[in-house]
Structure 1
Amino acid sequence: MRITVLTVPDCPNGPVVTERITAALAGRAAEVEHIEVHEETDAGRWGMAGSPTVLLDGTDPFAVAGAAPSVACRVYREGGQVDGAPSVAALRTALAEAGLGEAAERNCCEEDLLGLVGRGGRGRVAPVEGGLRAVHRAVLRHFATTGRAPGVALLEPVAAAAGRTARDVLAELDREDFLTLDEDGQVRAAYPFSAVPTSHRVRIDGGAEVFSMCAVDALGIPAMLGRDAVISSTDPVTGEPVTVTSTGGTTVWEPESAVVYVGRRGCSGPAETVCCDTLNFFTSRASATTWSKRHPDVPGEIVGQDRAEELGRAVFGPLLATEAPDSPSAP
């Protein structure tokens, strides 16, 4: 099967739909091509009804009768919810209806690693609608600048622009696992940042020193902010330090043998409880193996440095990309 992803340049939902397609494929073979469309005349030629559009062997499975070719943002509606990309479940259904065989049955704890940290394959770029993306980005920017979570009052002007209260928007972001709130309704975490101390510190060049929720989150911060950073963590088995220095897009790991263990404690729930404390840096593969054997209740996988960095970039790189599209009028 050939899967074509049509987007306008810098579409923030392009990486989201790509991540969801990967999750929906679940390891099945398919040719995935990405095409940037600049003009409405090209949109008509390709059959693009907004950005992003997914074609399965040249056919849009989410086509709406009467929809005109467009290079504007595309809105997908499913179960009363509005999103900027089709869900993993909708993509799975479309793939099956297009004739792609079912994936072999897998244990939920053997899901693609991107899905593990990326809201079950749905991605961490919040929808524009209802002020979700604007408030979410405001929270992330505040963390990056101050190292702390913003108070609810600071977010009121951003939420008010969408005709909502900050508490209402934050509650929705919490329900959808873009962030987590404490019992008082204050932000406790906004992946990749944590408002409470963890074993992963990130010193941002030109910014603050912050705590991250896990090793993959820490690795995603330089990509998300486009800044140099120094990550300091500790091997849970040996107690020895692990340092990752990101400079100009190049990383140096100390020690050179360091790896990341990506595990999970269950099959559903927010990332904070399912996997955040099981995604850790280790000084070596042997140390990570030791930890895994001591925790048979946490199935997972040891990943090398390149793969760990790739996960961080894929999940968190798009969160603050193209700052302008905080409203439905821009892709």
Structure 2
Amino acid sequence: MHRIPRRATALLLLPALCLTLACGSRESRRDAHFQRAKQYLEEGKSAEGVIELKNTVQIDPKYVPAYALLAETALKERDYRNALAYYNKAVQLAPTNLDYVAPFANLLVAARQFDRLEEVLAALPEGARKEYRIATVEAAALQLQGKGEEAEKLLVALLDRQDLKPEERAAVNKALARMAAQGDRLAEAEQRARAAVAATPEDAEAILLLAQVQERRGRVKEAEATLKQAPEAVRQDNRYLAGLIGFYGRQKRLEEVKRVVEGLVARKELSPEGRLLAADTLLRLNEVGRAEEVLRQGIEQQQPDRRVITAFVRLKQAEGKLAEAVAALE
């Protein structure tokens, strides 16, 4: 047998070794950038994190986790256009990964891009389309396209699944309750809302939905009882407080509205959302000075929220006192 000289063998192996080293080097650089990006994002440094993620995909244009994290970051910053674009890229590379498909599908529904949604869903295995995250978004798309009956059938079939988590079962019942309420099927709506509350007793949205249906059925005292019996955790939720304010407002019980607002303002740690809710309600009560005071306290914090600043400036502008707003912000 003819033997290949040792030197020739080494020369043949050299290109393969170089290629292996290059790939290893590329992967290590990609991973280093990706880890730095995650660290920046955990520290709240989104701009730096995005730069590192872009460096990651520049090194490896097929690295799906980086596109997904870019999309998540854009979504948190309400940059829906880039969120759509990055999720689109992730789904092109991993068309059956539901962790990418589900949020992308939700964005497509919000953007009413139903043709693209159908393309994305068609690429999934049949079993995956029956999964909770996909079935619910498909039902939402059907409803938006005026196919309410098809949407309801899809959701009712989903309730037959035994593997649904309590919060998922509650979400389906809430969706069905809203559909029934829209169709003036209030008895059915109340039944579905009760099922949602039973599955997740600390779900503020479910409690509010049940109270709204009861109110529409003319059972105002029951609706108020439903709201008042909410667990303590729910009572701290700004969505619950907004619903409670709305309920008392519709009943013309303005003193109760003021009581809820003052309780909200008295919190030691008032979130920007809570502050905006309080200020908006005070303005509706024509208590402009009190609303201004609440917003001013927000902008005097060490790191004031942009939304609170905007609300304060608009209020002063409406009063013709824009210079005061500028002075307060300096």
TM-score category, normalised to shorter length: under 0.3
TM-score of the aligned structures, taking structure 1 as reference length: 0.27
TM-score of the aligned structures, taking structure 2 as reference length: 0.28
Higher strand share: 1
Higher helix share: 2
Greater gyration radius: 2
Greater RCO (Cα-Cα under 8 Å, separation 6 or more) = 1
